[in-house]
Structure 1
């Protein structure tokens, strides 16, 4: 349950992903570029039998025209977008990007993993079906 008494969706799956990230960070250390962490995470998930796809492609469509592609680092369990980062800290920018990724992919849960420092920083992002209005 979360702080509001709601059941967390994909709770066990997210914790499995974060556990893999801890293992990777402990194994290869911090401060590399993002790609080695993405690849090491894929190796760790494969080792643990966690189903995933790496670098799947999703069309970005505007007015019925494909205007680009979104290519997430990983999708685990067919349901959770994983975004590996090596940044100073996770900010509203990364949270907003993840919400956009979730909208494009039509998935509801994302995990941002930041490998920049000795201590893993991570956040679970959920796209609820009810988005607050930006108009007051």
Structure 2
């Protein structure tokens, strides 16, 4: 499956979760339900994937955790905030660069219509 098809399936899964739960919950609730939905759809993923970094020749193994890495080719970063801020985009772009992945979806579940909370990012 190509990256666009994969992104479309992941967006569909997120929409299903949002339709069922609605806005206003904590990010962790959406993350857990999305993991169930992705598993149900047979989409391979890693949840809370540790992203190590190196600083001054020292490895920091628990520096960051990516919400989801989908099929080793798509980062999925979840938020449940009033408004996506530039720092959320910067964080996701940094994850892309450090993980050497080309595409990410930044999804804010705290919106009335989920399509208004989805931002696709690429390097």
| Higher Rg of the two aligned structures | 1
Instruction: State the Cα distance separating 1:91 from its structure 2 match.
Output: 2.6
The unaligned stretches of length 5 or more in structure 2 are none
Question: In the alignment, does 2:101 pair up with 1:107?
Answer: yes
Aligned to 1:124: 120
- Secondary structure of the residue aligned to 1:90 is coil
- Secondary structure of the residue aligned to 2:81 is coil
For residues 44-59 of structure 1, what are the structure 2 equivalents within 5 Å? 44-59=37-52
- Secondary structure of the residue aligned to 1:31 is coil
Which whole-Å CA distance do the structure 1 matches of 2:69 and 2:29 have between them?
Answer: 16
Pairwise CA RMSD of aligned residues? 1.3
TM-score, normalisation: structure 2: 0.90
More helix by share: 2
Instruction: State the Cα distance separating 1:66 from its structure 2 match.
Output: 2.2
Name segments (4+ residues, structure 1) moved above 2 Å: none
For residues 1-136 of structure 1, what are the structure 2 equivalents within 5 Å? 10-67=3-60, 68-120=62-114, 121-127=117-123
The unaligned stretches of length 5 or more in structure 1 are 1-8, 128-136
TM-score, normalisation: structure 1: 0.82
* Count of matched residue positions in the alignment of Structure 1 and Structure 2: 119
- Secondary structure of the residue aligned to 1:112 is strand
